Chain A
Amino acid sequence: MITYQSRYAAQSKASGGALSLSTNERRPVRFHARIAQHLYPMRLALQTLGELVWSDMGWISEDEFEERMEASLDPVITVHPDRVFFEAFSQDESAYGVVIVDRDVFEDDGATQCGTTNVDFTRGLHQALGDMRSSRDAHLHVGPAGFAVAAGDGGAHFEAKVELPDSWVRGFLQIQAAMALPGTRFTARPADLLRMIRFLQRNRALTSPRSVRYEFEPGRPVRAVLEPWEHEVVFGESSHNYTTAKVTRTWGRRRLSLVEKLLPWAQNVEVYLKGRGLPSFYSVQLPGVRFVLGLSGWVAGHWSQAASFDLMAPTDTDDLLTTRAVDHLRTSHRCTAQQASDELGVTLERAHAALADACRLGMAIYDVQDREFRHRELFETPIDPVAFYPPDPRRELARTLEPSAVVGTDVRRERVVGRGKPYVDRVIDGTVASHTTHVVIKDTGQLIFGRCTCPFFDEHLMTSGPCEHMLALRRVAERAGPSAG
C-alpha cells in the first residue's frame, strides 16, 4: 500500500460561475483564468471524468472485495504553458481518462505556476458542474492560496490520506507504457462509435464471445463486428494502411459508454488499438477540449496484473539517463523522442527508453495523439521502482535461458506505412531452449511483435507481454549486434 497524503486549503466548490478546485498545498500549482470559449464541451468532459473516477464495471471475487480501495485518488491536474490537463483512473483499475484543454480556451487572470498536483474532486462538485453555462461568466481557479482568499476564512484546511493499493498505482503507471506501445490508429466518425455504444446498450449478450472485433481489409473502411451477434458497424470514411487482412479484438466494451455523452458534440474520434486483448485508447476531439479514454484489454484484466507492458519497452537505459531526460522535460515541458535524442546526445532508441522509463516512474506522460512525452510528476516524492516493479519472473527466467539462445537470422526490414517515411524494424529469428522464437523490434527499441512455440505464448499470445524466450533471444541478439546470424 502507498499512503497518499494531501493537504487542502479548503474544499473545492463551484458557485457563482467560479469553478474553484482546491489543490494539494504540498504541491503548489496556480492557474486562474476565465473560460472564454467552449465552456459546454469542457463541462461535459469534466463531468465524464468524474463519472469515470467512480465507475466500477468489474465483477470481483470475494477475495478481491477485501482489497477494494475505499477511496480513489483525486484527479491529477497538470498545468503546462500550452494546455491544462486532468487525469483520473477508475476504481476498478480498468479505465483511464484525461481531459486536455487548450490554453486558448482561457483568458489568464494573473500569473500561472506550472506543475502537477491533485485536486479535491467530490461528488458535490461533480453535480455543481452542471450549473455552468456559456451565457454566464465562468472562471477556473486552481490553487490553494487564491482559493483561501476567496473563501475568506483560513480555518477550512483539511487533510486527506488515502491508502492506495500497489496494484492501483502500478496500473496508473502502466498506462504510460501502454500508451507508448505501437499499434493501429484510425479516425472514426463520432456517430459510428455512438451507434456501436447504443447497440450494446440495447442488446445484451447472453453467450460468449463478447468482444469487439475490429476488422481491417485492404481498400475498405474499418469495420467493428460486435460478438456474438456478428453485428457490423462500418466506420465510414475511415482508412488504414494494412495491405493484408487483420483482426484485432478487444473486450470490456461496456466501458465505452463512458464517452457516450461527449460524442454528439465531438468533431472526430481517433481510435488506437494496441493489439489483441491489449489496451485501447479513444481520443474524442471536442471544440477546444480533448478527452482520451484508455481501456485495459478487458475489465478484469487490470493493467497491473501480469500485464507487464514494460517488458516490451526498450531496455537500453539507466537511472542517470532517465534523470537527464526528466530534467529536460521539466524545462521544456514536452518533447518527442527525437528531440530528446538530439538534446541528450544519445541514440533515438536510448532516448525513447529513458522517456518510457520516466513514464513508468510517474514522472512523464505520453500523449498518444501528438506522439510526444510531457512532464508530469504524479507523486510528490518519486516512487521506489524496486518496490513497485519487483523483478519480473520472466526477466529472471530469460537470464537463465540466454546460454541456450541461438540467433538464426537478424535482419533489418523496411516497413512502409502510408506516405510517411518507412520504418526500419529489426526481425530476429532463433531458438531458445528448443522453442522456435521470432521477435520484431521497432527502430525506437520497442518489441512490437513476437511468436514462440512455448506454452506461455500458446495461452496468452502477446496479451501479457513477451515470454521469457523472446526476452532471452532479444538480449542475446542485442549483445551480438545487428550483424549476427
Chain B
Amino acid sequence: MEIWRLSKDDIEKRTRDALAGDDDDATLRTLEWLARSWHFGQLVDIWGPALYRRNRAAFLGAFHRRVQPHPVHVTRAWEGWIDEVEAAGDERLYRTLYQARILSLGPEAWHADLARVWDQGAANQRAAGLAKLVLPRMAPPDALALRFYREDPDAARDWLLRAAGGCEEPGRQDALIEAAQSAGDLDFADALFALNLDFEAWEERTRKLARTVSNPDELGRALERILPVRARRSVWVLEDHFGGLPKVITEIAEQRADLAPWLRRRHGRLKFAGAWADLAELAWSRRDQPDWFALWTALSRSSTGHAGFHRAVTAAVKELDRPRARSALFALGGATEVWDEQEYIWQSEERFWQLDADAFDAVLTFSPQALLGPMRPHVRFNVIDTKRFQRVVDVGNEELIDLVTARLLTAHPGWGPSRVNPKKVLGYWRVLQGDGPRFIPRVLRVLGFLEPRNPFWHRWAGKEHPLRGFFLDPELPWLDAPGALRDLLECAAPSVRTLALRIMRAARPDDDRLKTEVAACHDILAGYLFLEQPSRQLKDVLFALRLTTSELSSATALVASLRDALVLHHPGEGSLRCRDLLAAELAHLLTAWPGLRRPTERPVVHRRQA
C-alpha cells in the first residue's frame, strides 16, 4: 500500500495502533514508514509525547524533523512534554516545541519568558537560558534588547545576533548599535549593522569608510564587516533591498584603485547576474595594473553575463599584447557559476559560456591554439556555419578542424536549420579519406573530442544525420590503423565506445588484424564487463573477449572476471539479461576448460527418464 494513498484518519489510526504495540522495534519501523506521509507531522500531539517518553534516542534520531511547529498542534498533551524536553537538555527539540507554543500564545508570552529568564538566571546562566528562546522570524523587542545589552553585554551578545539574524525584518536597531559603539564593542556593532536591510545607511557608511580609511587592507576588512549578510545569502534580498550595491561599490572603486585585491577576493560573495558590468569596465580601463587585470578576468567570466564574456574575449585578443592576451584567455576560460533563471538558483555545476561569432573569429585570428586550449570548452556548434568552417580549414590547423567537426557532430538536425552545409564538411573528409593512413587517426581525434556529458547527442547518435553516419560507420577501415580500437574504447563518450564494439562485431572473425587489435585491448574490455550498459552492448563485449581467449592463461583471467561481474547482477540488482549473458559465457568457458571449474560448478545434465 503506497503511503500517499492513506488519508489523515488512516494515518492517525495506524499511528495509535503502532504506539499501542509492545514490540519496540516493530513500532519504530511502522512509525518510520508512516512518517513518510505528509499528514504524520500534523499528528505530533498523538505520537510526539508518547514516542519521546518511550524511546528518546529514536525520537531524536529519526522523528525530530517531523515535528511541525504549528500552533494548531499545540494541545494539552504538550504541556508536560515541553518541560520534560527542557529538563533532558534537548535544546533543538525544545526550541521547536517552544516556537509552536509561542505562536499559539502570542509574542507577549515570549517577551515575558525572556524577561523572566534574564531576571531569574544567574550571570553565567543567562546566555544558555536565552539560547533556548531564539525563535526564527521573530525580532526581539528593542527595549528589551537594549536593556539586556546594557546590563550584561557578554551574556546578551550572541543571543542578540542570532535573534536578529533569524528574522526577516530585524529593524534598524539604531539604539543598540549606538550603545555598542559607545561601549567600544565595534565588532558587535558592525555585525548588527550588517544584518540590517537599510541600504541608505549602508551606503552612507561605506562611502564614509572609503573617504576616511587610507590603508586598503584595513578598508577591505572594514567593508567586509558591514557587507550586508542577507544580501550575500539571498538574491531576492540583494535585488529588493540592495539593488544599488554594485553601483556604490563601483563608484568607490573608481576613487580607490588600491581596493582591487579585496574586490577580486570578495566579488564572488555577491552573486548578482550581470550587475558588475560597470565594475568590469572600470577594471578594463585599469588593466595595466595586475590586480585590476585579475579582477577584470574574474568579473568577465562570472558576473557580466554572455555579452560581457564575449566582449571580454574579443577585447583581450584585439587590444592586449600577445603574452597578456594569452594570460587573459586562460583566466577567462573555464567553468563558472551561472544564474539559472528557471530554477532561480545559482548553479555551481560546470557551465561554460559559449563563444559568439565575433569572439570566435577574433580568437581564431589571434591564435588557433587558443581555441584548442583554454577556449575549447566554450566552442559550440551554434557558432559554426559553412563560411566559418571554411575559414578554419584555410587556417590549416588539423587539430582545430577536428575539434570543429566534433562540435558539428553534436548538432541535432531537428533544432532549427543547420548553419553548416554538411556536404561541405563531408567533402573535406572524403578527400582525406582517399589519403590513406592519415584518415583514421584524424577520425579518432574527432571522436575523441566528443564530450560524454552531452545527453542529447548520445540519444540521437543513431538517427539520420549525414555527418554522424559518416563518422560512426563501422565499415570505415578502422583495422588499418593499429591502436584504433583501443583509442575508441578509451573514449569516455558512450556512443564512441559502442562504435568500437560494433566494429569488432562487424569484422571478420578470422581477420588477423582484428585478433591483434582485440588482444591489445583485452585489459580494457575486461573492465567493460563491470560497466552499467545495455545487454546488447555486453553481448558485444563478450563476443570481443571470446576472440582473445584461446589459451588457458587468458581463459583463467576471463573466468575470474566473469565470476566477479556476476556479483553485480544479483537478483534484484543489475540486469537479469546481463546476468544470463555472463552466466552463459562462463558456462561456455568452463565447458571448454573443465579444469577451471570450482567444486560447486558442475554441469547439470538432464537425462531422459528411463
Contact = CB atoms under 8 A, between A and B. Distances in A.
Interface of A: 11, 13, 15-16, 40, 56, 62, 65-66, 70, 122-124, 127-128, 130-131, 133-135, 153-156, 158-159, 161, 163, 189-192, 194-195, 198-199, 202, 206-209, 228, 236, 263-265, 287
A264 B528 contact: yes
Contacts of B35: 207
Given A130-B492, A153-B322, A263 B530 contact: yes
Interface string B548-583: 000000000000000011011010011000000000
Interface of B: 32, 35-36, 61-62, 229, 232-233, 265, 268-269, 290, 321-324, 326-327, 330-331, 333-335, 348, 350, 369, 372-374, 376-377, 399, 444, 448-449, 451-452, 482-484, 486-487, 490-492, 523-524, 526-532, 564-565, 567-568, 570, 573-574
B531 A264 contact: yes
Given A124-B373, A133-B448, 20 more contacts: A11-B330, A11-B374, A65-B233, A124-B333, A124-B334, A124-B374, A134-B486, A153-B323, A153-B326, A155-B322, A155-B326, A156-B327, A191-B567, A199-B573, A207-B32, A209-B62, A228-B32, A236-B567, A264-B530, A265-B523
Nearest to A134: B486
A92 to B, nearest CB: 12
**Which of A16, A130, A161 counts the most B-chain CB atoms under 10 A from its CB?**
A130
A36 B322 CA distance: 35
Nearest to B61: A208
A209 B28 CA distance: 12
What does DSSP make chain A's interface, helix, strand, loop or mixed?
mixed
Given A195-B573, A208-B62, A13 B448 contact: no
A154 B321 CA distance: 13
Contacts of B444: 133
Nearest to A12: B330
Contacts of A156: 323, 326-327, 330
A123 B526 CA distance: 30
A405 to B, nearest CB: 27
Contacts of A190: 530, 564
A2 B524 CA distance: 44
Contacts of B399: 16
Nearest to B452: A130
Nearest to B335: A123
A70 B452 CA distance: 27
B524 A40 contact: yes
A47 to B, nearest CB: 9
Contacts of A198: 532, 568, 573-574
Contacts of B527: 264-265
A207 B29 CA distance: 10
9 contacts: A123-B335, A124-B334, A130-B452, A130-B491, A131-B449, A158-B330, A195-B568, A207-B62, A264-B527
B262 to A, nearest CB: 11
A15 B373 contact: yes
Nearest to A16: B399
Contacts of A70: 265, 268-269
Nearest to A43: B490
Given A130-B492, A131-B448, A155-B327, A163 B265 contact: yes
B324 A155 contact: yes
B36 A123 contact: no
A163 B487 CA distance: 41
Contacts of B483: 133-135
Contacts of A66: 229, 232
**What 10 pairs between A and B have smallest CB-CB spacing?**
A155-B323, A135-B483, A264-B530, A264-B527, A191-B564, A265-B527, A191-B567, A11-B330, A207-B32, A123-B335
Contacts of A199: 573
A159 B291 CA distance: 10
Contact of A127 (B62, B327, B377): B377
Nearest to A155: B323
A131 B377 CA distance: 13
Nearest to B333: A124
Given A155-B323, A155-B324, A264-B528, A122 B334 contact: yes
Nearest to A201: B532
Nearest to A132: B490
B523 A287 contact: yes
A124 B448 contact: no
B486 A15 contact: no
Nearest to A13: B373
A195 B570 contact: yes
A161 B262 CA distance: 12
Nearest to B331: A158
Nearest to A206: B36
Nearest to A199: B573
A296 B318 CA distance: 49
Contacts of A153: 322-323, 326
Contacts of A11: 327, 330, 374
A189 B567 CA distance: 10
Nearest to B268: A70
Contacts of B532: 198
Given A15-B373, A153-B326, A199-B573, A209 B568 contact: no
A130 B573 CA distance: 30
A187 to B, nearest CB: 14
Contacts of A122: 334
B374 A194 contact: no
Contacts of A208: 61-62
Contacts of A131: 448-449
A133 B490 contact: yes
A287 B567 CA distance: 22
Nearest to A47: B492
A124 B323 contact: no
A191 B374 contact: no
A133 B233 contact: no
**Which of A15, A40, A70, A207 counts the most B-chain CB atoms under 10 A from its CB?**
A207
A405 B351 CA distance: 60
A290 B558 CA distance: 23
A191 B530 contact: yes
Contacts of A124: 333-334, 373-374, 376-377
Given A155-B324, A264-B531, A135 B486 contact: yes
A355 B232 CA distance: 43
A11 B568 CA distance: 42
Contacts of B321: 155
Nearest to A209: B61
Nearest to B266: A70
B565 A191 contact: yes
Contacts of A191: 530, 564-565, 567-568
A208 B399 CA distance: 52
A199 to B, nearest CB: 6
Nearest to A63: B165
Nearest to A234: B567
A450 B496 CA distance: 56
A64 to B, nearest CB: 11
Contacts of B448: 130-131, 133
A124 B377 CA distance: 7
A464 B432 CA distance: 66
A190 to B, nearest CB: 7
B373 A189 contact: no
A205 to B, nearest CB: 11
A263 B561 CA distance: 12
Contacts of A128: 376
Contacts of B524: 40, 265
B67 to A, nearest CB: 15
Contacts of A123: 334-335, 350, 377
A102 B392 CA distance: 41
A62 B233 contact: yes
Contacts of B62: 207-209
Contacts of B233: 62, 65
Contacts of B372: 15
Contact of B490 (A134, A163, A263): A134
A255 B227 CA distance: 35
